């Protein structure tokens, strides 16, 4: 098979380290030298269908080290579900540009896109190699230990929880109940990371609500009241995708439609919890929603996450050039002599549109807190140790 030209795309929600995967792929392709041209698709597969293609070989050499530390998607990204005739249109474009290698950086839906294009090329008799490079803060791709992008987002959420909770602790009579809402489609990995700065039972967060457990209002209110009576305040972290016992998302009150893949665009879980705490417990409450900051805050990039994002991009390009096809790069964890990852490959047909939720072993019995096993899993991913905030001794002076 001829190597022809390579094209790289970025897809789905951008992260703080998705560009590291792009840099890893480009630098490996340049080093290897077997592909002719190296192209980039602007705004993912959607831009490709408009023939928005740029020449990555013509970029200045000093761009790549700077891009390594730049958040968001340098190529531009999209959420676009292929229509029935789109895969063949993509193959036709590849034939026109002599593109024989496709590297697509993204999550579940992006894996599906790469797989469908690979199948279309095979049906058409066009020689094409397609590799998916994992990326998602949701950390829900199967067959990989974890997903690049998660470590940095987890670090941000852990720090945001610690810092926001300090305001509640120092002014508990103002808004004694704080609710922090995280992203996370159907798995609670990101919400769970809010506990990574927690060292004792009374440290925030006190309750974590994740999609792995259906929400029961009475149970939740009883837990909040118990914490509030004991400490005078309570901090809750909730995933935007938590559902009630009828399967209705708590955030449906603020639902803003669906994306191209029919995933609901939710907004309202934190507001819902604030409302029921205020009405049922007669306690003032407020919420924080970090929004896009949790995806790409450059001040919270985990060096481990960035290195692994580069690695999967690099190994994705190498896999293509070594003849692999219709697969996704995966991370394989090792703990000896210390934590590090190597890579492997998994068939895209096993990954596309599949999701991995948090294992039972990582959650407490009532599924509102994490276990030590989760700390063992997640702490190596967030890079440098989190700070430990100081607190004054509060022994009161009594004059007789």
pLDDT given for residue 264 in this prediction: 53
Question: What does the alpha-carbon distance between residue 92 and residue 311 come to, in Å, rounded to a whole number?
Answer: 31
Q: Which of 57-71, 134-148, 316-330, 386-400 has the lowest mean pLDDT?
A: 386-400
The pairs formed by 359-362 with CB atoms below 8 angstroms and a separation of 24 or more are 362/192
Residue 258 has pLDDT above 90, yes or no: no
Is a pLDDT exceeding 70 seen at residue 378? yes
- Band of pLDDT at residue 137, cut at 50, 70 and 90: very high
Q: Does residue 324 have a pLDDT over 50?
A: yes
Average pLDDT, the chain: 94
Instruction: Give per-residue burial for 267-298: e unless 16+ CB within 10 Å, then b.
Output: bbbbbbbbeebeeebebebbbbbbeebbbbbe
Q: What is the pLDDT of residues 102-133, one digit of tens each?
A: 999 999 889 999 999 999 999 999 999 999 99
Residue 256 has pLDDT above 70, yes or no: no
151 burial type by CB count under 10 A (0-12 exposed, 13-18 middle, 19+ buried): buried
The answer on pLDDT for 259 being more than 60 is no
Q: What is residue 254's predicted lDDT score, i.e. its pLDDT?
A: 46
Question: What's the rounded Cα separation, in Å, for the pair 193 and 378?
Answer: 7
Span 71-99, mean pLDDT?
97
263 vs 285, higher pLDDT: 285
* Interval 28-46: pLDDT, tens: 999 999 999 999 999 999 9
Kindly report, residue by residue over 146-170, the tens digit of the pLDDT.
999 999 999 999 999 999 999 999 9
For residues 75 and 63, give the distance between their C-alpha atoms in angstroms, rounded to a whole number: 13
| Cα gap 183→139, rounded to integer Å | 11
For 2, counting Cβ atoms within 10 Å of its Cβ (0-12 exposed, 13-18 middle, 19+ buried), the class is: exposed
pLDDT in tens, 337-371: 999 999 999 999 999 778 999 999 999 999 999 99
Task: Output the pLDDT for position 257.
Answer: 52
Name which of 16-20, 143-147, 223-227, 395-399 the model is least confident about: 395-399
- Measured in degrees and rounded to the nearest 5, phi and psi for residue 229 equal -65, -35
As annotated, the active-site residues are 138
Domains with residue ranges and CATH for the chain = 5-148+299-350 (3.40.50.450), 151-297+357-382 (3.40.50.460)
Q: What is the pLDDT of residue 116?
A: 96
75 with 9: CB under 8 angstroms? yes
Characterize 155-191 residue by residue with b for buried, 16 or more Cβ atoms within 10 angstroms of its Cβ, and e for exposed: bbbbbbbbebbeebbeebeebbbbbbbbbbbbbbbbb
Whose tokens are 């457990």? That residue is 213
The closest alpha carbon to 320, from 107, 99, 110, belongs to 99
């Amino acid at each position: 098979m001829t190597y022809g030209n390579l094209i790289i795309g970025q897809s789905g929600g951008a992260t703080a380290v998705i560009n590291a995967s792009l840099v890893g792929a480009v630098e490996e392709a340049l080093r290897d030298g077997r592909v002719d041209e190296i192209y980039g698709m602007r705004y993912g597969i959607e831009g490709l269908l408009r023939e928005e293609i740029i020449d990555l070989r013509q970029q200045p050499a000093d761009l790549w080290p700077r891009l390594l530390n730049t958040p968001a998607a340098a190529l531009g990204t999209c959420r676009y579900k292929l229509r029935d005739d789109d895969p063949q249109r993509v193959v036709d474009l590849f034939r026109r540009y002599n593109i024989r290698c496709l590297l697509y950086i993204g999550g579940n839906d992006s894996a599906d896109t790469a797989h469908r294009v690979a199948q279309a090329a095979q049906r058409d008799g066009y020689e094409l190699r397609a590799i998916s490079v994992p990326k998602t803060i949701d950390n829900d791709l199967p067959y990989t230990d974890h997903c690049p992008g998660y470590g940095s987002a987890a670090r941000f959420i852990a720090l945001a929880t610690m810092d926001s909770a300090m305001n509640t602790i120092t002014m508990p009579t103002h808004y004694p109940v704080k609710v922090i809402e995280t992203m996370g489609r159907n798995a609670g990995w990101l919400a769970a990371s809010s506990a990574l700065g927690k060292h004792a039972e009374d440290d925030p967060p006190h309750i974590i609500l994740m999609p792995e457990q259906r929400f029961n209002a009475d149970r939740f209110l009883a837990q909040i009241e118990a914490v509030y009576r004991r400490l005078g305040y309570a901090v809750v972290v909730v995933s935007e995708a938590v559902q009630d016992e009828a399967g209705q998302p708590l955030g449906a009150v603020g639902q803003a439609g669906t994306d191209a893949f029919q995933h609901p665009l939710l907004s309202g879980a934190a507001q819902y919890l604030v409302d029921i705490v205020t009405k049922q417990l007669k306690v003032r409450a407020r919420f924080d929603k970090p929004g896009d900051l949790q995806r790409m805050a450059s001040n919270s990039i985990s060096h481990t996450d960035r290195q692994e994002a580069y690695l999967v991009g690099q190994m994705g390009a190498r896999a293509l050039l070594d003849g692999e096809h219709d697969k996704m790069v995966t991370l394989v964890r090792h703990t000896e002599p210390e934590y590090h990852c190597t890579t492997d490959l998994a068939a895209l047909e096993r990954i596309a549109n599949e999701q991995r939720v948090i294992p039972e072993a990582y959650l407490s019995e009532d599924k509102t807190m994490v276990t030590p096993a989760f700390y063992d899993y997640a702490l190596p991913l967030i890079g440098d140790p989190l700070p430990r905030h100081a607190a004054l001794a509060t022994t009161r002076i009594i004059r007789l």
